[in-house]
């Protein structure tokens, strides 16, 4: 009996020892501060069509002669964090994807009012969506055989009296995009003088207790901005930009004809460029969340400092993206599409805009950072911005209202265009256009801030609890 008890004790001790060994091999915090465990391993994917631009510090501004002596680009040392930038300017075909998405979303909304298959009305728990989501899985055809579908979509087309030779075309005036963004700069301001919002009353809070709290404390929706903008490019820009000049063929064909698919989109104003950037973010993040992946940073217009840093391609103090000091190579060939020789437009191989990526890229692999079309930046234009803006990710922005004077609606454009002289091809040259104007020589490209410090950085193994 005694030997059986001893044998049982031995088994118990062995089991306890095995349990201790097993528990020591499991990941337990043992009471230590180790952070939330089992987080996904995540690395920044390279966005399609974009190139990595490393962080760095450089001398921003004019480093050669200031031809017009305008003194609006005095040299200043700035530092810029790492980001991705589009390899080329946004093309007609890429922007057309945005226009078609807006067109199709309007059609699905119209059809969904009568045909529920075009809308997602409820969530997985049976709760109603208000408003409902668009169902992109339902096939949409504008030449559908269903008479009901054709009648519903009829209002998207030009009325009969506006049609040219009875040509059935989408009414571009109806291609309006509703979009939102968060004004983080306004949210960061500690403005204690804002009036209390209706949220105070709704939440039955004592107004006296909120006197010293900013408005956003009680209702954060004040920082969510909304805008509705027509997304179709101003194709008439080819005519209204040049007096006594025959550019009607470009007005008729440039945006939609396949021959110009890979030409840079023009006729897009600053607000349309921003709307495209917000849509592109929404489009990408919608896909990522749909497959259960983490979202990425927003696509956006570059700041002035980001644009110039990327245009220099790591060649600090050089006047052009390819270095300098000349606009021709050793063979006498022009290195960009601009207005050479006092107006000999075709001498550089172009005429007006040309296909993107025609000339050699800079050392970051970016094409057309000088010439072809000038490019919108996110920054408002101020002659003295270099004097008062911060040297860390330098950025000066202003959200101009429709009622503001024109001087407050100026936005910085960079890079020069096919109709500009050589001075504007310099990476340091800056000028502006008004945010509500669309030009035949202004396009844009997007950037996306890199998630992290630099490529190759990762969590240090010495800081990971094992």
162-179: per-residue pLDDT in tens? 999 999 999 999 999 999
The pLDDT of residue 122 is: 84
Asked if the structure places residue 338 within a domain, the reply is yes
Q: Is the pLDDT of residue 208 over 60?
A: no
When pLDDT is cut at 50, 70 and 90, the band that residue 197 belongs to is very low
User: Residues, the chain, total?
Assistant: 466
Asked if the structure places residue 382 within a domain, the reply is yes
CA–CA dist 256, 277 (Å, integer): 21
Domain span including residue 258: 95-290
Phi then psi for residue 232, to 5 deg, are: -75, 135
Q: Is the pLDDT of residue 21 over 60?
A: no
Are residues 341 and 399 part of one domain?
Answer: yes
Domain count, the chain: 2
Instruction: Please give, one letter per residue, the 3-state secondary structure of 19-42.
Output: HHHHHHHCCCCCCCCCCCCCCCCC
Phi then psi for residue 187, to 5 deg, are: -65, -30
Cis (ω within 30 of 0) for the bond into 44?
A: no
Mean pLDDT, residues 57-70 taken together: 76
| Alpha helix stretches (DSSP H) within 203-349 | 215-218, 237-240, 248-253, 270-290, 304-312
Angle at which helix 92-112 crosses helix 270-290, to 10 degrees, equals: 70
Are residues 397 and 314 part of one domain?
Answer: yes
Are residues 447 and 314 part of one domain?
Answer: yes
Alpha-carbon distances of 48 from 86, 215, 269, 280, 375, rounded to whole Å? 9, 40, 24, 12, 20
Are residues 166 and 69 part of one domain?
Answer: no
What tokens appear for 383 in the block? 């002659």
Asked if the structure places residue 83 within a domain, the reply is yes
Q: Which residues are bridge partners to 196 per DSSP?
A: none
Phi then psi for residue 266, to 5 deg, are: -130, 180
Are residues 151 and 57 part of one domain?
Answer: no
What tokens appear for 10 in the block? 């031995």
Asked if the structure places residue 308 within a domain, the reply is yes
Asked if the structure places residue 71 within a domain, the reply is yes
Asked if the structure places residue 2 within a domain, the reply is no
Q: Which of 255, 290, 325 is the last residue of a domain?
A: 290
The CATH number assigned to the domain holding 424 equals 3.90.1580.10
Cis (ω within 30 of 0) for the bond into 7?
A: no
Q: Is the pLDDT of residue 200 over 50?
A: no
Judge contact between 241 and 73, C-beta under 8 A. Answer: no
Residue range 300-344, pLDDT digits in tens:
999 999 999 999 999 988 999 999 889 999 888 999 999 998 889
The pLDDT of residue 9 is: 64
Are residues 56 and 71 part of one domain?
Answer: yes
Judge contact between 410 and 269, C-beta under 8 A. Answer: no
Are residues 347 and 308 part of one domain?
Answer: yes
294 vs 215: which has the higher pLDDT: 294
Are residues 114 and 204 part of one domain?
Answer: yes
Residue range 355-370, pLDDT digits in tens:
999 999 999 999 999 9
286 vs 195: which has the higher pLDDT: 286
Judge contact between 378 and 395, C-beta under 8 A. Answer: yes
The pLDDT of residue 413 is: 98
Q: List b or e across 332-365, with b for residues whose CB sees 16 or more CB atoms inside 10 angstroms.
A: eebbbbbbbeeeeeeebebebbbbbbbbebbebe
Q: Which of 234, 263, 290 is the last residue of a domain?
A: 290
CA–CA dist 1, 7 (Å, integer): 10
Give the number of other CB atoms < 10 A from CB of residue 245. Answer: 9
The pLDDT of residue 213 is: 52
Are residues 238 and 364 part of one domain?
Answer: no
Mean pLDDT, residues 80-97 taken together: 97
Judge contact between 84 and 53, C-beta under 8 A. Answer: yes
Using a 10 angstrom Cβ sphere, with 0-12 exposed, 13-18 middle and 19 or more buried, the burial of residue 73 is buried
Collapsed DSSP state (helix, strand, coil) of residue 365: coil
Residue range 234-279, pLDDT digits in tens:
999 999 999 999 999 999 999 999 999 999 999 999 999 999 999 9
Q: Give the whole-number percent of the chain exceeding pLDDT 90.
A: 61
The pLDDT of residue 13 is: 61
* 111-125, 225-239, 374-388: least confidently modelled range: 111-125
Q: List b or e across 175-196, with b for residues whose CB sees 16 or more CB atoms inside 10 angstroms.
A: bebebebeeeeeeeeeeeeeeb
What number of H helices and E strands is found in the chain? 11, 14
Q: Is the pLDDT of residue 196 over 60?
A: no
When pLDDT is cut at 50, 70 and 90, the band that residue 19 belongs to is low
Q: Is the pLDDT of residue 458 over 70?
A: no
Q: Which of 265, 290, 315 is the last residue of a domain?
A: 290
Are residues 245 and 201 part of one domain?
Answer: yes
Return the closest-CA partner of residue 274 out of 447, 71, 53, 462: 447
Asked if the structure places residue 168 within a domain, the reply is yes
What tokens appear for 363 in the block? 């050392």
Judge contact between 336 and 327, C-beta under 8 A. Answer: yes
Asked if the structure places residue 27 within a domain, the reply is no
Give the number of other CB atoms < 10 A from CB of residue 325. Answer: 9
The pLDDT of residue 130 is: 84
Are residues 270 and 375 part of one domain?
Answer: no
What tokens appear for 231 in the block? 């997304």
Collapsed DSSP state (helix, strand, coil) of residue 109: helix
Are residues 329 and 358 part of one domain?
Answer: yes
Q: Is the pLDDT of residue 198 over 80?
A: no
């Amino acid at each position: 009996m005694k030997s059986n008890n001893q044998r049982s004790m031995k088994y118990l001790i062995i089991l306890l020892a095995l349990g201790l060994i097993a528990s020591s091999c499991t990941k337990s915090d043992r009471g230590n501060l180790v952070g939330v465990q089992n987080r996904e391993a995540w690395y920044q994917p390279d966005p399609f069509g974009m190139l990595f631009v490393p962080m760095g510090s450089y001398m921003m501004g004019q480093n050669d002669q200031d031809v017009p002596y305008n003194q609006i680009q005095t040299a200043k040392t700035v530092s810029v964090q790492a980001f991705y930038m589009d390899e080329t300017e946004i093309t007609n075909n890429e922007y057309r994807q945005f226009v078609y998405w807006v067109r199709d979303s309007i059609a699905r909304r119209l059809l969904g009012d009568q045909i529920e298959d075009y809308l997602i009305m409820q969530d997985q728990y049976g709760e109603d969506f208000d408003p409902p989501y668009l169902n992109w899985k339902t096939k949409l055809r504008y030449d559908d055989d269903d008479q009901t579908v054709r009648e519903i979509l009829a209002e998207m087309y030009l009325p009969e009296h506006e049609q040219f030779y009875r040509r059935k075309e989408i009414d571009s005036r109806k291609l309006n995009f509703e979009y939102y963004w968060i004004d983080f700069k306004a949210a960061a301001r500690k403005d204690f003088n804002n009036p209390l919002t209706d949220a105070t009353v709704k939440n039955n809070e004592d107004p006296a207790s909120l006197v010293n709290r900013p408005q956003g404390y009680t209702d954060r929706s004040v920082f969510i901005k909304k805008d509705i903008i027509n997304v179709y490019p101003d194709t008439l820009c080819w005519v209204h930009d040049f007096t006594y000049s025959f550019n009607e063929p470009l007005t008729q064909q440039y945006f939609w004809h396949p021959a110009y698919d890979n030409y840079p989109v023009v006729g897009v104003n600053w607000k349309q460029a921003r709307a495209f950037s917000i849509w592109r973010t929404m489009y990408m993040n919608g896909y990522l969340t749909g497959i259960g992946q983490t979202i990425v940073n927003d696509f956006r217009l570059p700041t002035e400092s980001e644009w110039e840093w990327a245009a220099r391609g790591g060649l600090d103090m050089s006047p052009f993206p390819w270095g300098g000091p000349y606009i021709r190579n050793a063979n006498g060939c022009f290195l960009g599409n601009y207005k050479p020789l006092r107006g000999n437009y075709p001498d550089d191989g172009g005429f007006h805009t040309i296909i993107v990526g025609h000339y050699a890229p800079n050392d970051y692999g970016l094409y057309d950072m000088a010439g072809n079309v000038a490019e919108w930046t996110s920054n408002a234009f101020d002659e003295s911005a270099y004097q008062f803006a911060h040297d860390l990710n330098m950025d000066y922005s202003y959200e101009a209202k429709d009622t503001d004077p024109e001087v407050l609606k100026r936005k910085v454009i960079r890079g020069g265009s096919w109709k500009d002289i050589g001075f504007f091809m310099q990476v340091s040259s800056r000028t502006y256009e008004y945010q509500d104007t669309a030009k035949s020589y202004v396009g844009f490209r997007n950037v996306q801030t890199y998630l992290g410090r630099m490529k190759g950085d990762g969590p240090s193994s010495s800081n990971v609890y094992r």
